[in-house]
Structure 1
Amino acid sequence: MTPVDERALPAPDGSTGLDPDDWDSFRSLAHRVVDDLVDHLATRRDQPVWRPMPDDVRASFDSPLPRAAAGAAEAYAAVSERVVPYSMGNDHPRFWGWYMGAGNPVGNLADLVASVLNPNLGGADHAPVLVEQQVVRWCAEAAGYPTSASGLLVGGASEANMVGLAVARSARIGPSLRQVGLPRDRRFAVYASSEVHSCHRKSCELLGFGASALRTVPVRADFTLDVDAVAAAIAADRAAGIEPLAVVASAGTVNTGAVDDLEAVADLCEREHLWFHVDGAIGGFLALSGSGDAVRGIERADSVALDLHKWMQAPIDVGLVLVRHEPDHRQAFSVVPDYLAHAQRGIAAGEVWFSEYGLALSRGFRALRVWMAFTAYGADAFGAVMDRTTAQAHRLAGLVDDHPEVERLAPVGCDIVCLRYTAPGLDDAALDAVNHEVVIRVQESGVAIVTDTVLRGVVAVRVAIGNHRTRDDDLDLFLAELVRHGRDVVAGLTTSPASAPSAGGTATDRS
């Protein structure tokens, strides 16, 4: 065990609280931590993306609550030995699982600054609140949305989507909702494509509509929303006495990255007097890129959910909800008890209290990791990342199309490629099992992280290249590894169907 550095512990008489008795000793440890983390980032490419956790490491997390001090150095040693080597791996250039950005070094430093300052972003008059307000405006501009919009940073797009639908519920049902709840004699419906993210079902459940209120309508051949089918569903619901409330369009679906026709959805919502919400978790910032035309119409939405820790590469977690009309947003959430009364002067002043725009009162300084990154890199750098990873996705798609042992299952949407290892003589069920097993073997090899999903009833290998560290040769290495494992799995099969690997718990991919 690492010897306890008594100087890095609080004074025995408690006079320093939880601060170290010797700040110089703590400073040395802090410098070592930063140096180690920079080394980790600088050499990350040379390490496995992910590795299975040994049994003894896993068992070490079952230990009881520590009552006595081990010291900061000992705590850090445990992290270095038992956490860092077995982390998720999404900081690695070949992590393309679910949909996650890789983070960025400036954002990492911002997290350290934010943690030390430790401000509460619920409200009050202090600079971090102004930072978040500026980040909201900057992100609205980056997404091509009105900068006058109200906005709130949250944990991710799932939460942002729920806030957006909560505002829609409040604005469309009226002020009585907050006092007496949902009217018992009325039923409501929310419309989205069958490819919509699962968080929208959760939102409908938690907002009291019920899962059945989410009407998932068919998609077209390119996996985008069939707007005509939405119009037909709206008409059928109205005829049945069900009140259409909102339409959710996806700017980048979770499975294939397909971008719905936002202009067409905006026209439909305007015609039918419905709330127009855009789930922009993946492609909501495409306006920064050379593919900005794909999201034309986003500026007409009543609310938009965005995710900074995906294609925008912020350290997890930071999402954003934008609401076109600030009064709608505030009226859906504002509660100001006496102990939070706002003032004209002093620390309780401040123009915006974010606690009035969402559920949380205590909120961390997420905004700094976005503010520092925008300032350091410039917003155009993130558009360039989008352009590069989009080009890499199309390059991988071309390699797949040219390879006799793999096939592509969907058009490239944003930067997502869905493919499948194939072999003659195997039916779909056997190929499902083969591809599921191939994904696991690729993961366990440490070469790359990809995941599987289901597209039109068959298992697909899903490669989401939302990673600013990815190089073209990373994709070449992955495809070679996938084909190698595919051959090995197929070679291990016998003529008995029972010997095929099990597809097990394969489920539709959600992130």
Structure 2
Amino acid sequence: MNSNQPYETLDPEDWEKMRALAHQMVNDAIDYLESVSDRPVWQRVPTEIAQTFHAALPEKPSDPSEIYQEFLTNIFPYPMGNIHPRFWAWYMGNGTVMGALADLMASTMNSNMGGGNHSAAMVETQVTNWMKQVVEFPDDSSGLLVSGGSMANLVGITVARNVVAGFDVRKHGVQAIDKKLTVYASTEVHSSNQKAVELLGLGHDCFRKIGVCDDYTINLEQLNNAITEDTRLGCQPICVIASSGTVNTGAIDDLNRIADICSQHNIWFHVDGAIGATAMLSETVKPYLSGIERADSIAMDLHKWMHIPFEAGCVLVRDAKAHRDTFSLVPEYLEPATRGIASGPYWFSEYGLQLSRSFRALKIWMTIKEHGTEKLGRMISRNVEQAQYLGTLIEKSVHLQLIAPIGLDIVCYRYNPGAMEQEGLNKLNREILVELQEQGIAAPSYTTLNGVYCIRVAIANHRSRFEDFDVLAAETIRIGQSITN
């Protein structure tokens, strides 16, 4: 080793200069959020800026202030837009200021959440216990924070497969299956569930998609008949996936009736609650979620209607032993101890795929502590009211048409000037949607229901005001008329 060479570290060379930069970054972040409604919902990244992201891998250091200035110029002005009050695309929450600051503190601590005895692990345990209370799950059930609903669904369905398959799947693998293991959900189920079924080696041919009723909830008669017929043919039904809020229309399946069917056939009851499970906090919505507490597993997305900054999902499993048995693998280097850092009572690595996990629990913990569940529930109830308000605007307009019943907070509509064929209407509404986005007015998304292209408004937004929906309705008509005239 060359003793004349200065000792290197990745810490700042000038702590005071870094402190000043950090203060500027926090101030800029607060200003950015405070003034979000003054900016367009979305704007395209200019070509000349997009080209800067093709620069070669940096080999030499750069000044932190210069790096931050590049961020302010090339990145900060061009977000997806989901923090804006008129962002209603796909299904995303806005985040919270406290949650963003919590991410800073979590990254500062830089705790690995695989397990161990430290405060961050205790925070995650408390947060998962809080989620059990939200959906009225038993205290002795298990929970795990994950990246989002997709991973939560994968974990829940994996436990279902291993428990109900009838043999040791971990030892013998799916190659040992002597009959088809079948899983059931409506045609409206989120695609992450099909991905999970395929990744688990069951194959999408064994993923039975059941038809829906006029309100887009699963047809229970068809579901029961499909399970009965598969059993008669020698298949082994293992799981029904219910949706507490479908992604297209927000429909809530009849959870109590599905629980009864699963009990009757002795199969696993999983609820994809990525959209609606947290609505148990809303006195308006909670009655429609009756039966969720009977599930064997529940997937929750806390970065949706609880507005935790990305990523924040949760999976709950009623049978904690089954959950642990599905994932636990403890080599010597991960054995828990009775003393020291490795003495933690709950090793999260034994309940999911990841050993390296970020301290995402802190932003959930801080946000809930700051606002309380009653206020979070009121935000949910207000979004439901806003969906009904938008529906009223649509029904009163001679130019707008409601395409599906309003489920939870999702409104599907289109502009219809009359005297146009379906294909022409679909093309027209595609263009209206893009214009709404490109003009920075609003950011809905779209779906197609029974061949009808819809502008889809998913109102999981704590910043939206009722007047924002007046703007959406009026601008939809203005843009539609400007295209057709």
TM-score by length of 2: 0.98
What one-letter code is carried by the residue in structure 1 that aligns with 2:144? L
Partner AA of 1:465 in structure 2: I
Alignment partner of 2:479 out of 474, 481, 485: 485
Residue type of the alignment partner of 1:135: V
Superposition CA RMSD, Å: 1.1
* Whole-angstrom distance in 1 between the partners of 2:342 and 2:85: 45
User: Deviation of residue 174 (structure 1)?
Assistant: 4.5
Q: Which amino acid in the other structure matches residue 357 of structure 2? A: R
Aligned to 1:139: 131
- Give the partner amino acid of 2:237: P
- Tell me if 1:389 matches 2:383: yes
2:7 matches 1:20: no
- 1:197 equivalent in structure 2: 190
| Aligned counterpart, 1:252 | 245
Residue 334 of structure 2 corresponds to residue 340 of structure 1: yes
Unaligned 5+ segments in structure 2 are none
Percent identical residues:
45
Q: Check the 8 A contact 2:279/2:305 in 1, yes or no.
A: no
> What is the CA–CA distance in structure 2 between the aligned matches of 1:81 and 1:478, rounded to whole Å?
30
Question: 2 CA distance for matches of 1:142 and 1:234?
Answer: 31
Partner of 2:421: 427
Q: CA deviation at 1:173?
A: 1.8
Relative to structure 1, the CA distance from residue 71 to residue 14 in structure 2 (aligned partners, 3 Å threshold; closer, same or farther) is: farther
**TM alignment of 1:165-176, pairs within 5 A:** 165-174=157-166, 176=168
Quick check: 1:143–1:286 contact (8 Å CA) kept in 2? no
Q: Which of 311, 326, 329 lines up with 2:323 in the alignment?
A: 329
Number of matched pairs: 480
SS of alignment partner, residue 349 of structure 2: helix
2:415 is the counterpart of 1:414:
no
SS at 1:420 equivalent: strand
Moved over 2 A (4+): 12-16, 143-148
Match in the other structure for 1:302: 296
> Which blocks of at least 5 consecutive residues in structure 1 are unaligned?
1-11, 492-511
Post-superposition shift, 1:148?
2.5
Q: What TM-score, normalized by structure 1, do the two folds share? A: 0.93
Pairwise CA distance, 1:169: 0.6
Q: CA shift at 1:374, angstroms? A: 0.8
Secondary structure of 1:425's partner? coil
How do 1:168-247 residues align onto structure 2 when only pairs under 5 Å count? 168-174=160-166, 176-182=168-174, 183-247=176-240
SS at match of 2:13: coil
- The superposition leaves residues 187-237 of structure 1 with CA deviations (integer Å, 9 ceiling, x where unpaired) of 111110110000111011100000111111111111111111100111111
Match of 1:248, SS? strand
Given candidates 268, 272, 275, the residue that maps to 1:279 is 272
Shift of 1:143: 2.2
Residues 421-445 of structure 1: CA deviation (Å, up to 9, x unaligned): 1122211111111111110010001
Deviations 1:163-192 (A, max 9, x none): 000000111125621011012422111110
DSSP-derived class of the 2:107 partner: helix
Deviations 1:445-468 (A, max 9, x none): 101101111111211110001000
- Asked whether the 8 Å contact 2:165–2:181 carries over to 1, the reply is no
CA contact (8 A) 1:439 1:450 kept: yes
Identify the residue that residue 42 of structure 2 maps to in structure 1: 50
Residues 153 and 315 in structure 2, CA contact (< 8 A), matched pair in contact too:
yes
Secondary structure of 2:143's counterpart equals strand
AA of the residue aligned to 2:267 = L
Residue by residue over 1:255-287, the C-alpha shift from the partner in whole angstroms, topping out at 9 and shown as x without a partner, is: 000011000000110011010000000110122
> How far apart, CA to CA, are the structure 2 residues paired with 1:13 and 1:460?
65
Alpha-carbon distance between aligned partners in 1 of 2:159 and 2:191, rounded to the nearest angstrom = 19
Distance in 2 between residues matched to 1:36 and 1:301, nearest whole Å: 44
Give the distance between the partners of 1:267 and 1:212, measured in 2 at CA.
Answer: 25
Could you say which residue in structure 1 is the equivalent of 2:144? 152
For the residue of structure 2 that corresponds to 1:414, the secondary structure is coil
SS at match of 2:277: coil
